[in-house]
């Protein structure tokens, strides 16, 4: 539904004549949710559920609206009830697995997804999600088997090919690249499949040292993706400037937020590695990429009837304190085992000023890596929703916005904002890890040097890489030589010989 306002208008007469009918309420709630009015959607769906408390479908629907509103824990409980009421309800088991995964409750998620696959072996989304979870949770061989099983039945399934490509320790040979190229021609493949397969093909060709062909596969995949979602670099840069310029009055409670370490930065810059190092400490819980801060921004925007950051200058110190406390309430479960937790949502670099205002005791670690390596790695990664990764010019523009904001806040707030450089870590890991821990107010622990031995589920593309010791050969740009000159030019970096290819 792309026009919820129009649909709500058309539903009006039915809602007026049957204001309490549960199906009418359920449909109205769906439209309200699409419009971003999550609390109103929950109100209507609750009224419908109260009338049909024993129908699994209504519990499942209510759970979806709860999740849209950022209430994952409650959503999980309603999905559990849906599964109890109707044990054969495949979609409820699948949604339960999804939401448990988002909550980093991976063991429970795996069980739920296995139930979904057991009930519906041909349910592509469930099997692909199960395989993704197995990969993230370091069940490498089982994940590969699930992906291969899915591809044997449906060779055009792009997410299965990309899932295999995401297993960085798995080399994709010529049989794989040939199979992907054939699958790209199959009529059952959607454009979404072709985008995912294009990135998988690029990874396979990279594994085989066929770098020019890999670049061609990446360009083709990104071109397809851009047909559906474009990115406005100028508008984004203006938004970032307006966020940085907004006035923030910090809360008077200077220790508020001392329980959290935000890890921010460009994707593919080493943020998962920082999280893994910190999560190896006995006082720190690695909570993965949390959506709580963006959801709080959305809630405050809805409450004030203004888009972010237009309302920022209106916030008093007490307003910021209340918002900070709301964040800590939402994230309380991450402090049940250990006193400190990490929030590793990379895009939170845009909101450093807001974090400083609402949680003045929080520490913010900015992950930094060489600009060329970071941007090229983003270009090679299948990133649904990260539309700035589709062209070199957009990537360079995004990088400049990030670089400007990161440098500004690190200089302005040096006691609370720290830039951790990936290349420096490779040169002298112990010194850099000691400095990171000291900035976070943590005593040194040897386990942080052996971060690759820490057993925990990791839900990002770097899951398998951070389970290995540090390697000095991770730079990819030298292999591509002059093929990356367009990206170098966009980043205002020196060009290399066009004939230079590894």
Q: What is the DSSP letter of 121?
A: T
Q: What CA–CA distance (Å, rounded) separates 120 from 383?
A: 28
Q: Which residues pair with 366 in a beta bridge?
A: 264, 419
Torsion, CA 193, CA 198, CA 200, CA 205, rounded to 10: 160
Query: Residue 459's pLDDT is what?
Result: 55
Query: Residue 1's pLDDT is what?
Result: 44
Q: Which residues pair with 250 in a beta bridge?
A: none
Query: Residue 460's pLDDT is what?
Result: 57
Torsion, CA 385, CA 389, CA 393, CA 398, rounded to 10: 70
Q: Are 28 and 15 in contact (CB under 8 A)?
A: yes
Query: Residue 457's pLDDT is what?
Result: 59
Query: Residue 159's pLDDT is what?
Result: 92
Choose among 257, 265, 382, 383: nearest CA to 331.
257
Choose among 369, 345, 462: nearest CA to 422.
369
Q: What CA–CA distance (Å, rounded) separates 314 from 316?
A: 7
Q: Are 293 and 343 in contact (CB under 8 A)?
A: yes
- Using alpha carbons only, what angle is made at residue 164 by residues 98 and 346, rounded to the nearest 5 degrees? 55
194: phi > 0 → left, psi -120 to 50 → alpha, else beta; which? alpha
Q: Are 463 and 439 in contact (CB under 8 A)?
A: no
Q: Which residues pair with 417 in a beta bridge?
A: 364
Q: Are 202 and 379 in contact (CB under 8 A)?
A: no
Q: What angle separates helix 158-166 from helix 140-153, to the nearest 10 degrees?
A: 160
Sort strands 284-286 and 363-368 into parallel, antiparallel or unpaired: unpaired
Choose among 412, 400, 368: nearest CA to 263.
368
pTM value? 0.86
Q: What CA–CA distance (Å, rounded) separates 161 from 92?
A: 26
Query: Residue 384's pLDDT is what?
Result: 87
Which alpha helices (DSSP H) does 86-156 contain, by range? 90-102, 106-119, 124-136, 140-153
Q: What CA–CA distance (Å, rounded) separates 22 from 71?
A: 22
Expressed in percent and rounded to 5, the helix, strand and coil fractions of the chain are 65, 5, 30
Torsion, CA 264, CA 265, CA 266, CA 269, rounded to 10: -100
Tens digit of each residue's pLDDT, the chain (502 residues): 457 767 777 777 777 888 889 888 888 888 888 887 888 889 999 999 999 999 999 999 999 999 988 788 899 999 999 999 999 999 999 999 999 988 878 889 999 999 999 999 989 889 999 999 998 877 889 999 999 999 999 999 999 999 999 998 899 999 999 999 999 999 999 999 999 999 999 999 999 999 999 999 999 999 999 999 889 999 999 999 999 888 787 766 789 999 999 999 999 999 999 999 999 999 999 988 898 999 899 889 988 989 999 999 999 999 999 999 999 999 998 999 999 999 999 999 999 999 999 999 999 999 999 999 999 999 999 988 899 999 999 999 999 999 999 999 999 999 999 999 999 999 999 999 999 999 999 999 999 999 988 876 555 555 555 556 777 778 899 999 999 999 999 999 999 986 655 4
Helix (H) or strand (E) holding 342: strand 340-343
Query: Residue 321's pLDDT is what?
Result: 94
């Amino acid at each position: 539904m792309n026009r919820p306002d129009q649909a709500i208008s058309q539903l009006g007469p039915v809602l007026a004549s049957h204001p309490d009918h549960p199906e009418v309420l359920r449909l109205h709630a769906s439209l309200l949710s699409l419009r971003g009015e999550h609390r109103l959607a929950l109100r209507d769906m609750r009224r419908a559920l109260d009338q049909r408390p024993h129908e699994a479908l209504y519990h499942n629907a209510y759970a979806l609206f709860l999740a849209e509103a950022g209430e994952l824990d409650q959503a999980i409980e309603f999905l559990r009830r849906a599964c109890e009421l109707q044990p054969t309800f495949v979609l409820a088991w699948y949604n339960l697995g999804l939401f448990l995964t988002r909550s980093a409750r991976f063991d429970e998620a795996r069980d739920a997804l296995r139930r979904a696959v057991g009930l519906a072996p041909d349910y592509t989304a469930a099997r692909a999600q199960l395989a993704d979870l197995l990969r993230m949770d370091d069940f490498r061989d089982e994940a590969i088997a699930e992906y291969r099983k899915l591809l044997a039945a449906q060779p055009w399934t792009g997410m299965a090919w990309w899932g295999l490509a995401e297993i960085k320790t798995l080399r994709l040979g010529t049989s794989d690249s040939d199979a992907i190229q054939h699958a790209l021609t199959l009529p059952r493949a959607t454009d979404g499949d072709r985008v995912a397969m294009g990135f998988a093909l690029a990874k396979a060709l990279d594994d085989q040292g066929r770098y020019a062909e890999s670049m061609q596969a990446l360009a083709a995949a990104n071109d397809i993706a851009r047909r559906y979602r474009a990115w406005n670099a100028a508008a984004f840069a203006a938004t970032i400037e307006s966020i940085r310029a907004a006035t923030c009055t910090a809360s008077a409670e200077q220790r508020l937020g001392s329980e959290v370490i935000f890890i921010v930065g460009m994707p593919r810059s080493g943020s998962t590695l920082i999280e893994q190092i910190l999560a190896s400490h006995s006082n720190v819980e690695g909570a993965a990429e949390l959506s709580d801060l963006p959801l709080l921004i959305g809630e405050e925007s809805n409450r004030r009837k203004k888009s972010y950051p237009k309302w920022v200058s209106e916030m008093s110190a007490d307003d910021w304190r209340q918002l900070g406390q709301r964040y800590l309430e939402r994230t309380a479960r991450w402090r049940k085992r250990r006193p400190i937790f990490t929030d590793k949502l990379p895009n939170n670099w845009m909101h450093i000023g807001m974090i400083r205002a609402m949680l003045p005791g929080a520490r913010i670690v900015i992950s930094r890596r060489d600009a060329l390596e970071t941007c090229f790695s983003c270009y090679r990664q299948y990133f649904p929703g990260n539309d700035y990764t589709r062209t070199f010019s957009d990537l360079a523009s995004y990088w400049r916005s990030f670089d400007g904001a990161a440098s500004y806040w690190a200089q302005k707030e040096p006691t609370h904002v720290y830039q951790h450089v990936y290349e420096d870590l490779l040169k002298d890991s112990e010194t850099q890890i000691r400095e990171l821990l000291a900035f976070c107010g943590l005593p040194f622990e040897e386990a942080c040097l052996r971060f690759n031995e820490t057993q925990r589920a990791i839900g990002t593309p770097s899951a398998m890489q951070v389970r290995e010791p540090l390697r000095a050969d991770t730079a990819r740009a030298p292999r591509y030589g002059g093929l990356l000159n367009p990206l170098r030019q966009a980043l205002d970096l020196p060009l290399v010989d066009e004939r230079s290819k590894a």
